[in-house]
A and B are shown apart, each in its own frame.
Chain A
């Protein structure tokens, strides 16, 4: 038996529409099933409540008076004292009376036997009825207890549900507040960032403009510098090393544009015929590869003026000028430097 099957039976029973052949079986189930009793009670109340939905009609005003009048008549009839009048009896009537008396006596004996039998049956029925009432009372007590539990659970569920809904609502409010705050902060940061970006972009534009301006100025300066003849000139003084005469002195001037120069020396020793002085120029781009600038000899006073030109390599910028002593004819690389600029 499924719950659905019992629900159908309980519904039909509550409506008074359960087929007679099922009534006995359902009533037995109802007798032993408290849950089913509770369901039936609820369905029965629901069925009764249907009539509340009908349009309300008042009975005729005279109907109540008619009912009460009928009741008054019944009350009056029940209260009439029974006082039958006595009538004279004839002889056959007297005999009939005696016959009826006899028959009445026999009837009384029969009734006494029947009364005893019925009393025994009645006693049994009363006992059964008493037991049924006791069971009914117990079942109703259990049903009331269950109903109380149901009410308590329902109230508890309602409270829990209410609390949960309140917590959810508070949580939602809290999250919405946080969301609004974050949105506000985000908006503020966005505005600040945009302002900063705009400022940086403005600075970048200004810096780029300044860079362009400086480039132009630099280009102009370079152009002006290249146009200035003195700017192409390099003047260097050479100092003696420990192996040179102490009074030895030299100075050189080099024209970057013309790629030629002039060297002047004083205080040098006169070298033997197998030896010669040789001049070297170092370019800033190739500081480890001295460029041969030619050989020379000094007069009897140790002085000389030498033109520097026709070098084997182009000199972008002069970083150093050196003078060394070499064997006659010169060397590929300086071997003994006696004078050198910084």
Chain B
């Protein structure tokens, strides 16, 4: 049965050791977080381990979550990214950018389209797809290296062998373009 509680309400219940609330929160975000961890680590076993660590941390630290600072999804996504990128760095590996994202996305999206309740607050999935896919490849690559690879601007400069100003410009234009694409399409 679908749970209509808001994310913040679920986290409040989890903070009170409500097992069912955690189960509902898992149903809502597990696929999204697992996808993110898999994208970063490229192995399903490690992604599953990260996801388990993330949800145990949610169980332990839900009481410390403060809705004034960030949205619940942003919080759990940050935790997931940090854990996954920490594993990458511990293994001295580097984030692998997948250029054929568009084709891969289209193929897999046909198998199982995203559900609205899996990503509340960002209802227009198809439009977000379009906004991401409209980004120039070099901008998307730079954004992913920073956001998912956990690389600093200097590390990205070294990885891509491009001037620092170019990297910063790509990040700025890429994120602003993504924002504008989403906003315009929402309008």
Contacts and interface: CB of A to CB of B under 8 A. Distances in A.
A137 B67 CA distance: 11
Contacts of A60: 44, 48
A53 B101 contact: yes
A55 interface: yes
Given A49-B122, A50-B178, A7 B144 contact: no
A63 B53 CA distance: 11
A71 B56 contact: yes
B151 A55 contact: no
A15 interface: yes
A65 B175 CA distance: 37
A54 interface: yes
Interface residues of A, number: 45
Contact of B22 (A45, A53, A71, A158): A71
Interface in B75-130: 77-78, 81-82, 101, 104-105, 107-109, 112-114, 119, 121-122, 125, 128-129
Contact of A72 (B19, B81, B129, B150): B19
A67 B179 contact: no
Given A52-B129, A71-B22, A47 B172 contact: no
A7 B119 CA distance: 26
A12 B164 CA distance: 13
B175 A14 contact: yes
Given A16-B150, A19-B153, A56-B35, A51 B77 contact: yes
Given A17-B147, A17-B151, A46 B19 contact: no
A43 B122 CA distance: 13
A64 interface: yes
A85 B122 CA distance: 57
B31 interface: yes
A58 B31 contact: yes
Contacts of A44: 70, 74
B35 A54 contact: yes
A77 to B, nearest CB: 12
A48 B74 contact: yes
B147 A16 contact: yes
B175 A46 contact: yes
B59 to A, nearest CB: 6
Nearest to A140: B68
Contact of B146 (A12, A63, A72, A158): A12
Interface string A296-316: 000000000000000000000
7 contacts: A43-B176, A53-B129, A54-B36, A56-B108, A56-B114, A59-B34, A67-B22
Given A17-B153, A43-B179, A57-B35, 20 more contacts: A8-B168, A8-B169, A8-B172, A15-B171, A17-B146, A17-B156, A43-B175, A44-B70, A46-B179, A49-B131, A49-B182, A51-B32, A51-B77, A52-B125, A52-B128, A53-B101, A57-B34, A59-B51, A60-B48, A72-B19
Interface of B: 17, 19, 22-23, 26, 30-32, 34-36, 38-39, 44, 47-48, 51-52, 55-56, 59, 68, 70-71, 73-74, 77-78, 81-82, 101, 104-105, 107-109, 112-114, 119, 121-122, 125, 128-129, 131-133, 143-144, 146-147, 150-154, 156, 168-169, 171-172, 174-176, 178-179, 182-183, 187
